[in-house]
Amino acid sequence: MITVDVVYLQNEKRVNELKLFLRQFNLQFESDIDYSLAIYDDGKLVGTASKARNVLKCFAILPEYQGQNLTSLLVKSIEDRMFREGLYHFFIYTPSHNKHIFTSIGYKEVITSNAITLLENGIYEINSYLNNLREKYGISNNPKACIVMNGNPFTLGHLYLVESCAKENEEVIVFVVSEDKSSFPFKVRFDLIQKGTEHLKNVKVVETGPYLVSNSIFPSYFLKTSTDKEISQAQMDCDIFVTYYKPIFNIVKRYIGTEPYCEVTNIYNMAMKRTLPIHGVEVIEIERKQGDKGYISASKVRESLRNDDFDSIKSMVPHSTYEFLISTEAKPIIDNLKAKRGRH
C-alpha cells in the first residue's frame, strides 16, 4: 500500500535513508531543506521530495513507480504545507528534460538555461510581478540604464557607480537584491541605498523581487560542483534579465563595477558581458573607486565593523550609511557580524 510520511529532520536515521535514496539519482540532500516527505510502498522507500521555504526540490521516484501520479501527490502535499506556513508562491528547478512533469500539474516555465528549467506557481507570475513593480515605482517607458546591487552595506564605491551611471543617462534604476541572506537585512540595505542616492533625481531604487540574484531558490543538488552552480546561476540570471527585466523596464544599458576580490561576482560579470549585448543591452564596466587603503568594498566595511574601526568606515561609506552604523538599530547586525565569519 502506498503511504506518504513526513520525515522529521531531527531523525538522523530517516534523513540518512533519504540521502542514500537520492544518491541513486546523483542528487544531494541540500542543507537548507526544512521539510521532507517520503513515499513508501509496504515499507519500501519509492519516492521523496523536499522544500526549502517556497522552493520544491530533491524530487526522486523509482523508475518503476513513475507515471503513477506520485509527483503530483508529493507536490500537492508540499504545497499544502507551504500554505500553512503562509507561503503562496512556489518555485521548482528541474533538469529541462523533466519540465513536462511539472507543467502538466500547473507549473509555468519561467526560463530554461543550460539545460535547467525554472518553473513557478502561485498567486503571481513573473510578468505580472514586474509590471506591478513598474507601476508601484512610477517607472516610465523611456530607455534607461540600470544597476543591480546588494549594498551590504551601501558604500562610497556603490555611490560612485550610481553617480557615474546617473551622469551618463537620463533615467536610472538601481535594483536592490531582495533576497535576505546578507549580513544587512533587505529593508536596511534598501533604505540605505535610497537615502544615499536621494540627491540623484533621475535615479529610482527598486527591489529585484525573487527572480534575480536569488541564491535561495537556485539549487545545487543536481550540479556537480559549487563552480557549476555559480556559472549556471549567473547564466540563468542573465537570461531572466534579458527576457523579462529588459523589455518590461526598457533597459538598454547595465552598469557594473570591476571586481578585484570576489570570484562569484567575476563569474556574473563575465556572463553579463557574454549575454547582454546579444540582446541589445550594453554592459558598461566602471573601475571600482579607491580610497586611502585601496579599493572600497562592502566586505572591507564589514571587516572594519568586526574590529570596531569606525575611523576607516567613515572614509568608505556615505554619511547616511555611517549614521545608521553608529545607531542602536545597527547594533544587532554588528554583533551578528562579530559572531560569524564569511564574505556576506
Q: List, for residues 311-342, the tens digit of each pLDDT value.
A: 999 999 999 999 999 999 999 999 999 998 65
pLDDT in tens, 79-118: 999 999 999 999 998 889 999 999 999 999 999 988 889 9
Give the chain's length. Answer: 344
- Asked if omega into 260 is within 30° of 0 (cis), the reply is no
- Nearest-5° angle of CA 183, CA 187, CA 193? 90
Q: Which pLDDT score, from 0 to 100, does residue 222 have?
A: 44
Q: Say whether pTM exceeds 0.95.
A: no
Ranges for all domains in the chain classified under CATH 3.40.630.30: 2-123
CATH of 127-339, one of 3.40.50.970, 3.30.10.20, 3.40.50.620, 3.30.470.20: 3.40.50.620
Q: Which CATH class is domain 2-123?
A: alpha beta
Q: Which pLDDT score, from 0 to 100, does residue 264 have?
A: 79
Query: In whole angstroms, what is the distance from residue 170 CA to residue 252 CA?
Result: 12
Which residues of the chain, if any, have pLDDT below 70?
215-227, 260, 341-344
| Number of DSSP helices (H) and strands (E) in the chain, helices first | 13, 14
| 319 sits in which H/E element | helix 319-325
Query: In whole angstroms, what is the distance from residue 214 CA to residue 237 CA?
Result: 9
Q: Which pLDDT score, from 0 to 100, does residue 285 have?
A: 96
Ranges for all domains in the chain classified under CATH 3.40.50.620: 127-339
What residues are paired with 52 via a beta bridge?
55
Helix ranges restricted to H, the chain = 12-23, 70-84, 99-103, 126-136, 156-168, 186-196, 226-240, 246-249, 263-275, 298-306, 310-314, 319-325, 331-339
Q: Which residues contact 143 (CB under 8 A, 6 or more apart)?
A: 171, 250, 251, 252
Instruction: For 22-85, give the DSSP string.
Output: HHTTT----TT--EEEEEEETTEEEEEEEEETTEEEEEEE-GGGTTSSHHHHHHHHHHHHHHHT
The C-alpha cell 506518504 sits at 4
Q: Which pLDDT score, from 0 to 100, does residue 6 have?
A: 97
Q: Which pLDDT score, from 0 to 100, does residue 221 have?
A: 43
Q: Which pLDDT score, from 0 to 100, does residue 288 have?
A: 86
Query: In whole angstroms, what is the distance from residue 191 CA to residue 201 CA?
Result: 16
Q: Which pLDDT score, from 0 to 100, does residue 218 have?
A: 63
Handedness of CA 9, 12, 14, 16 (dihedral sign): positive
Phi, psi (5° rounding) for residue 159?
-60, -40
Q: Which pLDDT score, from 0 to 100, does residue 58 have?
A: 92
Residue 185: count of CB within 10 angstroms of its CB: 14
Query: In whole angstroms, what is the distance from residue 146 CA to residue 154 CA?
Result: 16
